[in-house]
Amino acid sequence: MPGKLKVRIVAGRHLPVMDRASDLTDAFVEVKFGNTTFKTDVFPKSLNPQWNSEWFKFEVDDEDLQDEPLQITVLDHDTYSANDAIGKVYIDIDPLLSSEAATVISGWFPIYDTIHGIRGEINVVVKVDLFNDLNRFRQSSCGVKFFCTTSIPKCYKVVTVHGFVEELVVNEDPEYQWIDRIRTPRASNEARQRLISLMSGELQRKIGLKVLEMGGNAVVGYLQCFDLEGESGLVVRAIGTACTLDKLSNPSAALLPACNSPSKEIKEVPFSEDPNPNTHSSGPSTPLKNQTYSFSPSKSYSRQSSSSDTDLSLTPKTGMGSGGSAGKEGGPLKTLLRQQTQTALEQREFPFFTLTCFPPGFLVHVGGVVSARSVKLLDRIHNPDEPETRDAWWEEIRQEIKSHAKALGCHAVIGYSESTSICEEVCILSASGTAAVLNPKFLQDGSLDGCSEHRLSRQPTYFSTGSEKGEFDFLPLSKDSSSVLGLEEPSPPSCGFCHIPYDELNMPFPAHLTYCYNCRKQKVPDVLFTTVDLPVEAAVTGKGCLIQARLCRLKKKAQGEANATAISNLLPFMEYELHTQLMNKLKLRGMNALFGLRIQISVGENMLVGLASATGVYLTALPTPGGIQIAGKTPSDITYEQHISNMQKKINDTIAKNKELYEITPPEMSEEIIGSPIPEPRQRSRIFRSHSESSDEISELDLSHGKKDAFVLEIDDADAVEDIHSLLTDAPLPAGFYSCNTEIMPGIYNWTTGLQMFTSVRVFRLNNVNLTNQGLNKIFNDLCENLLKSLYFKLRSMIPCCLCHVNFTVAVPEDELIQVAVTAVAMTFDKDQAQESWKASVDKALMKVIAENEEQLQFPLELCSDSPGAQPFSPRKGTAASVEYSSFANRCNSWIELVKVKALTIRRGSIKTTSSLEKASPQALGHARVRSTTAYTGSTITVVKMTPLSFIPGAKIVKYVGIINMFFIRETTSLREEGGVSGFLHAFIAEVFAMVRAHVAALGGNAVVSYIMKECVFMENPNKNQAQCLINVSGDAVIFVRESELEAIPVQPQTTSSQASNGGADVTT
Amino acid sequence: MAMELDVFVGNTTIMDEDVYLLWLDGYTVSDAVSMRMKSGILEQCGASQDVLESDTMDHYRTFQMTERLLHNPSKLVNQLLFQIPPHRQNMLIERWGGGAAIVKITVQKCYKILNPFSPSLAPSLPPSLALTGRYYAFDEAFVREVLGKKLSKGTKKDLDDVSAKTGITLKSCRRQFDNFKRVFKVVEEMKGPLVENIHQNFLLSDRLARDYAAIVFFANSRFETGKKKLQYLTFEDFAFCAEQLIQNWTLGAVDSMVEDMDVDLDKEFLQDLKDLKVLITDKDMMDQHKSLVCTALRGKLQVFSEMEGSFKNLSRGLVNIAGKLMNNKDVRDLFIDLVEKFIEPCKSDKWSLNDVRLFLTQHTNSVRALDAFKHQAVWERYMRVIQSCILKMYHD
């Protein structure tokens, strides 16, 4: 008997009129938990009833507490006939089970009905008294914290990362049960909502148990999805990363202007990345923990200088702990690392991490993207308690991923995610992630102490150098740096992760290797693709941008195995083409790396739709990308040649324009100044050597496949024309806009407080019966482009702003429909970088000294080394990485599996450190304070911010009050009356937002971070005037405090404000 | 090949001022799109027509959904469906409620005024401009058509004529009419001051609340305002008169806590007005009155001789109006009577406004010197209103 749940129903307001005669309602409330139900008295004849009920007490197992939702039903009392339901509220009480989350749920909840939508609001107070259960065999896992955030939550530090946890539960879908034929749509929808709520509770409890077994206390990067398999059932599955987190005892301590004692701070927060968004305020002390996104110091490439470069090279990279004297080629070092990591990771079945952001030092090397897909035929799940088949399917896929990672010389997969696409009885299971080598020290219990000591011992030097150098940051290269560069030291964190983890002589796929343009000691690939966020410490040149590859492929309608075979046959071509498109678009923007890559392939009855989104950046460590060369096959015709050269010119112009737009400034100049220790000829020769040694044959082989080279587009090929066309039709971003699909936009640091999260959904009907692949592609491409254009137009008042975490999902809900849904957040930033405070005092003097004009300051002294961009469009550079389907087998009869491995990369030479910026960041803070909005007054309703990001610009998250995971169904039988499909969905999405906000406010929170709309299934039947939609959303409810408020009131002002709003509850109008 | 569905929903509800105006004005989506295109917004933002259509549709849907809340503005403050940041909410509330003076410019004109500004600048517009389009604001032309009419279904049916006559879209006419009716229904039976009630229940600004009070008052007593002779009067004239009537002639002017206090005229007072007849029926009294007025005004009035000549007619007119007010029908004709019996004669004799003011003041005050006259209080309560109304109405 470990728990007592207490519920009080206070009041209602804005209830609908249920009695036409009196225009009033006689409302009462049923409160149900498990099998127990309580009722309030009827409050007659009022649309704003005041029940002020007693406390209803439920004595329940904590297992039930975790699984069951609290169900509150508002009804209209009717003396003569059955009582009419007004609507329901489901409350997940999980946040009350953890001591660190919310202590009470109290507030106004929208009363929701699946047919009518929101119908008034109800004020409820919920509390839980939990008794400790010391039973070892317990089935509950109360107290394990869940976070959707895919990085270490802000007010915690990580003690250990335990690794991958997964679970799935299956059940019959109530919509497909026999009883559904006789019950009302409302009853059926409610049964479904309740079941999914129950299943996700159960799933969370089971995952919690696994975490406890592993010795952890939290799940980070928790991703729960459900698969509507139709007849064959309903699957709810989740993956996450188990961790042991420690709450930072005194978050306000970190707020002190910590410039004073850097080393001390480090002791407090040894390894963990910095938990609070504010740490940049702690000045130079934080280079190791700059988890901060907003003013992330390492991003200011403009600040980079050779002197900081020096600092870094003096500081051995922690990830390579023992590698201080490693050999030139880094070979021995790698082996060593591998051994270390192996021991740590091999105990795990799947060394996967759902995180996309890591504490600095955690990530040693990144290999490339690994992904696996498999096509399955669904069959009925006979025994819901033993979901073996589904488990086995995922197991297979994860094994594939694991083996691909191994092939890349990596032991772990980060940024890991899983997804499905279902059409009738065919299901595509996909998994993808980024192969990586991790620092083993994070992964083992107990090893941390030693590790942090090791670190600490080094820190002081680091810092002292850093602060000493602060003033010289802007001086053009000092001599000593070059001499230091000569040392064979492990690579600095700004480029370390780019260095190849695999053996150069035995590469898993063809790639061009060069020496790192940053440290010049290790090899880097020419292009790098990853599914994770850009590491904060990474050196980046210019700004990033959203890059999408879009593709449709027609497929014959088929049934069963034939269908599955057809799909599996198409998949590799789609992946290849998506990849080619991504590559071309990347080149077109003059960039060399993709982050946050997400490839979605959706299956419909007669087509497959593929959409790949990623954020392109120019990694300073990788080589400058070559241009795109167009080659014609029939050079005889003059007009034809002219046509080609016109096109070539257009492409070259676009590249040049893009470079300007994204502020990618070629680093040629600086090389002479630097007097690079590695003279160019020498480097060239090395490139050639490695080329001939390793990758030559493979790339030739690759070409012999007859596939287009990624950079040389042959115009005779119809596909190529199409490719070029699609390349050039990508509309440029309107002035003042940037976009990315990662957490932060490289190159923008000065976020202001403007924040607008939105969801946009479009469904396109293809009426053309005889569509070709090209026609279809164009339609799909236009659909996405127009959607983006609309977003830019809508958000024009926020300029200058950046669309962050742009998350597209595509679906083919019916034969001729393509559905695209986008959720993203628009954030304003201060465009006027010259006035930026991080450039303030220290800089000003230097500005005068160094730069006469501002340009130079903004894309400054990129001090890099090599000048590879000399012949940007030369075909020599044109060769590139290609895709390889390492396993592509048609196994058994019912399904086919496809796997693909990719890893790609480039170079560049500016060096970036954290130290220079850190110094200035307190000023940045001050800046943010000035700009932060003033407190609003007037309404009793808490304003709740929502964002798909894990942070809120200009604010500090002080508490996580619980995970939000909500599932709603809305149905209508009067579609026309509700404004058609658009009116229906518009209202529903607004309602979902409203319900999320209400739950967050009731938990005492004022924002949702890491918000994601995981599912938006829309079905319509206009002939019957009907439509139905399912939406599944999740996120982390938090309390944030504006940095400006923090100064004045160090204690949480939020609780009071939420109480105030609750208090206002009693006064209804 | 068509967009089956296209929605955009922000966590913070986005509301475009320009589109709001167009929507209030009752334009269809396609009309609104073409008007927005003319404003040059596309060039500014480099967008295409599709984008504008989609954007306009989104806004129209949002406004349609908020309309339910706008009908009961107090709900808007604690509704959960739309997150409208408080500062914006205030603006929205003010928007229905801002200065009615600007309403005289038809909304269409306002739109043209707004056009030169890019919508991205809209938030920074001076509030007076940014707040012009309002849900509860109304068109001068429209209100003059329905002022004093019964807010019934019958009147609503005739709105297409009003629409044709005024050039205001039927949709907009209906909205304005429904606003009048909604406000009327809510405050009709309420205790307490009319303006205050409107202000409280609809969160309207003081200015607009006063205008609505006038509309409600006129609709309740059904004052005739549509006759040809009254066409030269503006809504503002009537609103001023209504305020005078409310402040002096209603029950509320005597007792502040009765039902209908500000809406219905004080019946007892109207009865008492009969007693003023003595001023014209008693010949001595009338002569004495005339001589008092003439003595006082000699040399001060430019139209002295004309005044002298028409004194008896004018005086008779004013007192006769008072005598008839106990009949509802004659109450309705109050304004037409004032015009016919007083304003027109004066105008034909080319009285200046100052002449009228001097005359009325003297005419009212001189009665105090008539010892035989016993109804001083009623007379002054009557003349206070009549005097200010006539002065307000005395223009071209």
Residue A234 CA to residue B376 CA, distance in Å, equals 88
A338/A233 Cα distance (integer angstroms): 43
Q: Is A964 on the interface with B (CB under 8 A)?
A: no
Q: Measured between alpha carbons, how far is B298 from B57 in angstroms, rounded to an integer?
A: 69
Residue where the block lists tokens 């039902």: B259
In angstroms, the CA A920 to CA A840 distance is: 7
How far away is chain A from the Cα of B288, in angstroms, using its nearest Cα?
60
Residues A430 and A547 placed together within one structural domain of the fold: yes
Strand order in the sheet with A218-228: A145-146, A218-228, A234-247, A156-171
Residue with tokens 């007119």, as numbered in its chain? B317
pLDDT at A176: 82
Q: Which residue has the higher pLDDT, A523 or A298?
A: A523
ipTM (interface pTM): 0.81
Is A789 close to B81, i.e. CB distance below 8 A?
no
User: Does any domain span residue A935?
Assistant: no
Q: What φ, ψ does residue A1044 adopt, rounded to 5°?
A: -65, -40
Give the pLDDT confidence score for residue A835 in this predicted structure: 39
**Of A627 and A77, more confident:** A77
- Chain A stretch 923-952, residues whose beta carbon is closer than 8 A to a beta carbon of chain B: 936-941, 943-946
As a whole number of angstroms, the distance between CA A540 and CA A544 comes to 9
- Between the alpha carbon of residue A755 and those of residues A373, A948, B271, the distances in Å are 36, 11, 65
Helices and strands in chain B: count of H runs, count of E runs = 24, 1
Asked if the structure places residue A838 within a domain, the reply is no
Low-confidence winner among A476-485, A581-590, A773-782 (lowest mean pLDDT): A476-485
**What is the gyration radius of the CA atoms in chain A, in angstroms?**
29
A19/A167 same-domain check: no
Q: Which residue among A759, A990, A1064 sits closest to B82, beta carbon to beta carbon?
A: A990
Q: Are strands A84-91 and A70-76 parallel, antiparallel or unpaired?
A: antiparallel
Of the listed ranges A702-706, A984-988, B152-156, the one predicted with least confidence: A702-706
Is residue A1066 domain-resident? no
pLDDT of residue A113: 95
> Average pLDDT in the A85-90 region?
94
What pLDDT score does A70 carry? 94
User: What is the average per-residue pLDDT within A1061-1069?
Assistant: 37
pLDDT of residue A250: 52
Measure B96 CA to nearest chain A CA, in Å.
Answer: 17
**Token pair recorded at residue A774:** 């090209």
B157: amino acid identity, one letter: K
The dihedral sign for the CA sequence B266, B270, B272, B276:
positive
Q: Do A941 and B55 count as a contact with CB atoms less than 8 A apart?
A: no
Hey, what are A453's tokens?
């000591």
Q: Reply yes or no on whether the pLDDT at A110 is more than 70.
A: yes
Residue A725, pLDDT score: 65
Return the number of CB contacts < 8 Å for A and B.
Answer: 154
Q: Are residues A116 and A217 in the same domain?
A: no
Give every CB contact of residue A767 below 8 A, 6+ residues apart in sequence.
Answer: A816, B1, B2
Tell me: do A734 and A823 sit in the same domain: yes
The H-or-E segment that residue B166 falls in is helix B159-166
Q: How far apart are CA A945 and CA A957, in angstroms?
A: 12
For the segment A1018-1045, the average pLDDT, to the nearest whole number, is 89
Spatial contact of B141 and B166, defined as CB atoms under 8 Å apart: yes
Same domain, A167 and A100: no
Q: Looking at A370-374, B9-13, B261-265, which range is the least confident one?
A: B261-265
In order, the DSSP letters of A244-270 are EEEE-S-GGGGGS-GGG-HHHHHHHS-
CA B217 to chain centre: 10
Residue B102 has pLDDT above 50, yes or no: no
Contact yes or no for A940 and B78 at CB 8 A: yes
Closest CA to B60 of B25, B120, B20: B20
Residue A317 has pLDDT above 70, yes or no: no
Which of A121, A797, A989 comes nearest B80 by C-beta?
Answer: A121
CB of A131 closer than 8 Å to CB of A3? yes
CATH number of the domain residue A57 falls in: 2.60.40.150
Checking if the pLDDT of A189 tops 50, the result is yes
Q: Which residue range forms the structural domain that includes residue A165?
A: 143-249
Per-residue pLDDT band for A325 (boundaries 50, 70, 90) equals very low
B289 CA to centre of own chain? 36
Residue A725 forms part of a structural domain: yes
Which residue of A89, A762, A790, A825 to mutate against B (max B Cβ within 10 Å)?
Answer: A790
Question: What is the Cα gyration radius of chain B?
Answer: 25
Please calculate the CA angle A689-A690-A694 and round it to the nearest 5 degrees. Answer: 120
Q: Per DSSP, what are the bridge partners of residue A959?
A: A1039
Domain of residue A184, CATH code: 3.30.110.70
pLDDT at A333: 47
Q: Classify residue A318: in a domain, yes or no.
A: no
User: What pLDDT, in 10s, does the model give residues A269-303?
Assistant: 333 333 333 333 333 332 333 332 233 333 333 33
The first and second tokens of residue B387, run together, are 């005097």
Most B CBs within 10 Å, among A759, A764, A785, A939, to test the B interface: A939
Q: Provide the token pair at A143.
A: 């107290």
The contacts found for B364-370 with CB under 8 angstroms, 24 or more apart, are B366/B289, B366/B292, B366/B293, B366/B296, B367/B279, B367/B289, B369/B292, B370/B279, B370/B285, B370/B288, B370/B289, B370/B292
pLDDT reported for residue B7: 94
At A919, list the tokens.
């110094």
Give the model's pLDDT for residue A383.
Answer: 63
Of A406, A435, A778, A372, which Cα lies nearest the Cα of A572? A372
Work out the average pLDDT over B311-335. Answer: 89
Q: Is there a contact between B8 and A797 if contact means CB atoms under 8 Å apart?
A: no
Looking at residues B86-96, what average pLDDT do you find? 56
Tell me the two tokens of residue A942. Answer: 């808490």
> Nearest residue on chain B to A117, judged by CA atoms?
B81
Tens digits of per-residue pLDDT, A991-1015? 999 999 999 999 999 999 999 998 8
Residue finishing a domain among A804, A831, A858: A831
Question: Are A600 and A733 part of one and the same domain?
Answer: yes
Q: What is the pLDDT of residues A906-955, one digit of tens each?
A: 223 333 332 333 333 333 333 333 333 333 334 467 889 999 999 998 88
Nearest to A709 by CA among A880, A904, A886, A905: A880
Q: How far apart are alpha carbons A131 and A33 in whole angstroms?
A: 18
Closest approach of B29 to chain A, Cα-based (Å)? 13
Same domain, A28 and A115: yes
Tell which of A232, A249, A266 closes a domain.
A249
- Is the distance from CB of A871 to CB of A541 less than 8 angstroms? no
pLDDT given at position A287: 31
pLDDT for the residue numbered B75: 78
For residue A769, name the pLDDT band (cuts at 50, 70, 90).
Answer: low
Contact B9/A at CB under 8 A: yes
Strand partners for A161: A243
Asked if residues A301 and A540 have their Cβ atoms less than 8 Å apart, the reply is yes
Looking at the fold, whether A158 and A207 belong to one and the same domain comes out as yes
The reply to whether A128 and A240 lie within a common domain is no
**Residue B356 pLDDT greater than 80, yes or no:** yes
Round to whole Å and give the CA distance between B119 and A796.
9
Contact B78 A937 (CB under 8 A): no
Sheet holding A593-603, edge to edge: A528-529, A593-603, A607-619, A540-554
Confidence of residue B329 (pLDDT cuts 50, 70, 90): confident
Summary mean pLDDT of chain A:
71
For range A335-351, the mean pLDDT: 58
How far apart CA A128 and CA A7 sit, in angstroms, is: 9
- The shortest C-alpha distance from A937 to chain B (Å) reads 7
CA distance A971 to A193: 12
CB within 8 Å of chain A, chain B residues 61-90 = 61-62, 64-65, 74-75, 77-83, 85-87, 89-90
Residues A22 and A162 in one domain: no
Q: Smallest CA–CA separation between A104 and chain B, in Å?
A: 20
Q: Is A265 inside a domain boundary?
A: no
Q: Is A50 on the interface with B (CB under 8 A)?
A: no
Question: Residues 6 or more apart from B323 whose CB is under 8 A from it?
Answer: B273, B274, B276, B277
Distance CA A166, CA A224 (A): 10
With tokens 């961009």, the residue in question is: A869
CB contact under 8 A, A779 and B79: no
Residues of A in contact with B62 (CB under 8 A): 986
Tell me, what's the pLDDT at A714? 56
Tokens of A504: 């150069």
The model carries a pTM of 0.78
Q: Evaluate whether A170 touches A387 at the Cβ level (below 8 Å).
A: yes
Q: What is the mean pLDDT of residues B351-363?
A: 91
Residues A17 and A150 in one domain: no
Q: Does A903 touch chain B (CB under 8 A)?
A: no
| Nearest-by-Cβ selection for A939 from B1, B6, B89 | B89
Q: Do B45 and A796 touch (CB under 8 A)?
A: yes
In degrees and rounded to multiples of 5, residue A644 shows phi and psi of -65, -45
| Average of per-residue pLDDT across A1033-1040 | 94
Residue A280 lies in a domain: no
Which helix (H) or strand (E) covers residue A824, if one does?
A: strand A817-829
Task: Decide if pLDDT at A449 tops 60.
Answer: no
| Burial classification of residue A611, based on how many CB atoms lie within 10 Å of its CB (0-12 exposed, 13-18 middle, 19 or more buried) | buried
Task: Please choose, from the candidates A972, A998, A994, the residue with its C-alpha nearest in 3D space to the C-alpha of residue A983.
Answer: A972
Give residue B80's pLDDT: 87
The whole-number pLDDT of residue A821 equals 95
Measured CA to CA, the distance from residue A140 to residue A138 in angstroms comes to 6
CB contact under 8 A, B45 and A944: no
Chain B residues with beta carbon closer than 8 angstroms to that of A118 = 80-81
Number of Cβ within a 10 Å radius of residue A1067:
11
pLDDT of A167 higher than 70: yes
- Residue B41 has, within 13 A of its CA and on its CB side, a CA count of 32
Could you write out the DSSP letters of every residue in A914-942?
Answer: SHHHHHHHHHHHHHHHHHSPPPP-S-SSP
CB contact under 8 A, A990 and B81: yes
Contact A790 B74 (CB under 8 A): no
* Domains in chain A, number: 3
Give residue A885's pLDDT: 35
Helix A980-1002 to helix B49-70 angle (10° resolution) is: 60
Instruction: Tell me: cis bond preceding A360? Omega within 30 of 0 counts.
Output: no
Is beta strand A712-714 parallel, antiparallel or unpaired with respect to A629-631? parallel
Please answer yes or no on whether B51 and A786 come within 8 Å at the CB atom. Answer: yes
Determine the longest span between alpha carbons in chain A, in angstroms: 95
Both tokens of A266, joined, read 């480090």
Suggest the residue from A936, A993, A1017 to mutate for an interface test with chain B (most B CBs closer than 10 A): A993
- Alpha carbon separation from A445 to A275, A344, A753 (Å, rounded): 20, 10, 39
Give the pLDDT confidence score for residue A832 in this predicted structure: 65
Structure tokens that stand for A534 in this block? 């850009």
Asked if the Cβ–Cβ distance from B2 to A767 is below 8 Å, we say: yes
pLDDT at B116: 34
Torsion of CA B250, B251, B257, B260, to 10 degrees: -70
A1044: in domain: no
CA A86 to chain CA centroid, nearest Å = 38
Q: pLDDT tens-digit profile of A613-656? A: 999 999 888 888 877 777 666 555 677 777 778 778 888 888 88
Query: Residue A1022's closest chain B neighbor by CA?
Result: B4
> For residues A761 and A1018, is the Cβ–Cβ distance under 8 A?
yes
Both A115 and A157 in a single domain? no
pLDDT tens, residue by residue, A825-866: 999 888 765 334 443 433 343 333 333 333 333 333 233 333
Local confidence band at A600 (pLDDT 50, 70, 90 cut-offs): very high
Reply yes or no on whether the pLDDT at A386 is more than 90: no
Instruction: Write down which residue in A231, A249, A267 finishes a domain.
Output: A249
